[in-house]
Amino acid sequence: MVDTSKVTRRTALGFIASGAFVMASESYGYSHVSANRVTNMGVADDPAALLGIEGVTDPDTTPTFTNRTDHEMIVTLDSSESDIEFDVGDDETWMEPPVQFSLTVGESEVVAMQAPRETITVDTIAQLESDGGAIGNIELQREFDIPQAGQVDLTPYFKEIGGSGKYEFELENTGDIDVTITKLGINQTSNGNATKVGGGQNDSILKVDGGSIVSTSIPIDNTEPDTVGNAGNNYELTSFDENQNLNTGMTKNFAFDRFRTADDKNAKMSGEDVKFTLEFEDGSTLTVTVCPNSCSI
């Protein structure tokens, strides 16, 4: 009989490949593993899991799947629940389940999740491969917490602005939950001369329904548009002076006053696209693009 307290993860995979029966200790992190239809491993999650999953119950962390085995892995995410979408790579490419992605040894992949409710149940199958053939599966089911950014459905409406640098739009919460927005950062605009919002003596920076909610200039990060607010940038998302509640069915009018060039001249924004990121009170973020015509960014 195998002494499971002394079985390494590499050895465990050897047993899987050979079809041996192994009862794993908690260090393997399986929910269920099958190989040649004879192996079952039922254990708890922990940092030593062969299929590592982070961000299950942390709405501030995009779920991350990590291959900690010695073999390549094909991961399939599915669910029997409705209205679920996955974004493999967190690049705003949303798809209904099932979705699939590959992980080489030691590789990680982020998968954003959204649904009109606080939690979803996700079925995960990780197929282990060697020399192009399947040698076993890791199967598990987890309940993921969906952040506010993943539950809300914000629909932007562009409102035509002249050449003064002002830029006005509306956000409607067409989702099923109320949310609170706390911060904003501008990722990118289609006007390459625009470097910031605000800077003039009388600029009110950002208005919501006519009232100013930001008192400091907001920079534009055109060089790294998808990482605004992350550690790789020199600035954080700009905090609102007053948090903004956006209940389901509610529409609020937002206005940037005004987009400026590096030397504080007006950056004409008529017909220009703007991509920005909102942060919610639970720490989750949502990137929104406002386009008056077809998007060019």
SS (H, E, C) 100-136: EEEECCCCEEEEEEECCCCEEEEEEEEEEEECCEEEE
pLDDT at 127: 93
One domain, residues 134 and 185: no
One domain, residues 116 and 155: no
**Among 111, 146, 181, residue at a domain's last position:** 146
**225 in any annotated domain:** yes
One domain, residues 138 and 185: no
pLDDT at 236: 65
Q: Give the count of domains, the chain.
A: 2
One domain, residues 24 and 97: yes
One domain, residues 160 and 253: yes
Q: Which domain holds residue 23?
A: 4-146
Tokens 């009110």 belong to which residue? 204
Q: In Å, how far from its chain's centre is CA 21?
A: 38
**296 in any annotated domain:** no
The SS3 of residue 27 is helix
Instruction: Give the separation between CA 203 and CA 260, rounded to whole angstroms.
Output: 10
Q: Are 205 and 217 in contact (CB under 8 A)?
A: yes
CATH number, domain with residue 209: 2.60.40
One domain, residues 84 and 193: no
One domain, residues 121 and 156: no
The SS3 of residue 86 is strand
pLDDT at 18: 37
HSE-up of 27 (CA within 13 Å, CB side)? Answer: 10
HSE-up of 180 (CA within 13 Å, CB side)? Answer: 8
Q: Are 90 and 62 in contact (CB under 8 A)?
A: yes
pLDDT at 180: 93
One domain, residues 132 and 231: no
One domain, residues 209 and 136: no
**97 in any annotated domain:** yes
**Among 97, 120, 146, residue at a domain's last position:** 146
**194 in any annotated domain:** yes
Amino acid (one-letter) located at 28: Y
Q: Is the dihedral of CA 110, 113, 118, 123 positive or negative?
A: negative
Full pLDDT tens readout for the chain, 297 residues: 434 333 334 434 443 443 332 322 222 334 334 333 222 233 334 456 889 998 888 877 889 999 999 999 999 999 999 889 999 998 878 899 999 999 999 999 999 998 888 889 999 999 999 888 888 889 999 999 888 888 787 777 777 666 788 888 888 887 778 889 999 999 889 998 999 998 877 788 999 998 999 988 898 875 544 444 444 444 468 899 999 999 988 989 988 988 999 898 989 888 888 888 888 988 888 888 888 878 887
One domain, residues 131 and 12: yes
One domain, residues 159 and 140: no
